[in-house]
Amino acid sequence: MTINEFRECMSISRTRTYELIRSGELAAVKAGRRTLIRADAAQAWLDALPSVRPAGGR
């Protein structure tokens, strides 16, 4: 998927997307001048995010 498709799907900014790529948290590939994010890389990034605990600790 393109950078724009990824950021819209994940509701994060373009800047944050490129920060994730630069830091190595999100894998990306180049196709000519285009930067693309494979679906498995997007899923791996999503899976690595911390879980949210419900209020009250249950």
21 in a structural domain = yes
Counted residue by residue, the chain has a size of 58
Residue 54 pLDDT: 83
Q: What stretches of the chain adopt beta strand conformation (E)?
A: 29-31, 34-36
Q: How far is the C-alpha of 33 from the C-alpha of 20, rounded, in Å?
A: 19
What is the signed CA dihedral for 43, 46, 47, 52, rounded to 10 degrees? -150
Q: Is residue 56 part of a domain?
A: no
Task: Supply the pTM of this predicted model.
Answer: 0.83
The parent domain of residue 37 ranges over 3-48
Per the domain annotation, does 54 fall within a domain? no
**pLDDT bucket at 58, cuts 50 / 70 / 90:** low
Helices (H) and strands (E) in the chain, counts: 3, 2
Residue 53 lies in a domain: no
- Specify the number of domains making up the chain: 1
pLDDT digits (tens, 9 = 90+) for 1-51: 999 999 999 999 999 999 999 999 999 999 999 999 999 999 999 999 999
Residue 16: inside a domain, yes or no? yes
Q: Is residue 28 part of a domain?
A: yes
Radius of gyration of the chain (CA): 13
